[in-house]
A and B are shown apart, each in its own frame.
Chain A
């Protein structure tokens, strides 16, 4: 069974940093492209970042470029999101999301999400 379990969310002050982790199981992690997608409270979905299976290719939304860094450790079946210079508008549930096999883009599995709150 495919499982994606996020951790690392919490309350952080504006300008602070946080590192999110996603533990993957039930599939060959290195064979899949992965993403972070977020959802502000009561709002819609916003794609944040993408990473290829090897980790060599990365994309970012303009809203987080230069502040967030996506990475993965295929030996540990883990995905990460390092978030720096956090702003109030980064407050959201952050989902770890797996791309559909053989494609880049559509997400077929999502974690349960971890809440990040940026507030003083």
Chain B
């Protein structure tokens, strides 16, 4: 099983600032099959990025994904009020998909 470790656990930032979230895999993610999701309290997750860098439908270009192999990054260029949430990475390169433990982006 591929273990995903997200850092930091909590990111305290102000609206307008840039957020950089990290996701590190215990082994190389096949074909860079890495996705990012955003989840707000009481809601289901929402797909942001798949294939490490492809934005899902309706996701603004403030969100960008990068990385390959074992190190991946989600960048939010300018935080808006609705961006404060928990973010999860997911690998789907093996037949046993796994999620990271999440990074909470909170208002500073």
Q: Is the CB of A59 within 8 A of B92?
A: no
Interface size class, chain A:
20 to 34
Is A112 part of the binding interface, using a Cβ–Cβ cutoff of 8 Å? Answer: yes
Q: Can you name 5 A-B pairs with beta carbons within 8 Å? A: A44-B88, A47-B96, A47-B97, A61-B96, A108-B47
Contact of B92 among A46, A62, A106, A110 (CB under 8 A): A106
B99 within 8 A of partner (CB): yes
Give the number of residue pairs across the A-B interface with Cβ within 8 Å.
57
B53 within 8 A of A: no
Contact of B99 among A44, A62, A112 (CB under 8 A): A44
B97:A105 contact, CB within 8 angstroms? yes
Name the residue on B nearest A46 (C-beta). Answer: B99
Q: How far is the CB of A91 from chain B (nearest CB, A)?
A: 18
The answer to the question of A45 belonging to the interface, with a C-beta cut-off of 8 Å to chain B, is: yes
The 8 closest A-B pairs by CB, nearest first: A105-B92, A110-B44, A106-B50, A106-B35, A47-B97, A45-B99, A44-B102, A59-B95
> B88 to A45, Cβ gap below 8 A?
yes
- Give the CA-CA distance A112 to B44 in the complex, in Å: 6
Chain B: minimal CB distance from A32 (Å) = 14
Residue of B nearest to A108 (CB): B47
Q: Are A104 and B92 in contact (CB under 8 A)?
A: yes
CB pair A62–B96 under 8 Å, yes or no, is yes
Q: Which residues of A contact B (CB under 8 A)?
A: 44-47, 50, 59, 61-62, 95, 100, 103-108, 110-113
Min C-beta distance of A90 to chain B, whole Å: 17
| A99: nearest chain-B partner, CB-CB | B92
In the complex, chain A residues whose CB is within 8 Å of the CB of B92: 104-106
Q: Which one, A50, A103, A105, A113, contacts B44 given CB within 8 A?
A: A113
Do residues A108 and B56 form an inter-chain contact, with CB atoms below 8 A?
yes
Tell whether, in the assembled complex, residue A59 and residue B90 are in contact, meaning their CB atoms are under 8 Å apart: no
Q: Quick check: B47 and A100 within 8 Å, CB to CB?
A: yes
**Nearest residue, chain A, Cβ from B102:** A44
In the bound complex, how far is the Cα of B92 from the Cα of A62, in angstroms?
A: 15
Complex Cα–Cα for A103 and B57 (A): 14
CA distance A69 to B12 in the complex (A): 41
Contacts of B96 in A (CB 8 A): 47, 59, 61-62
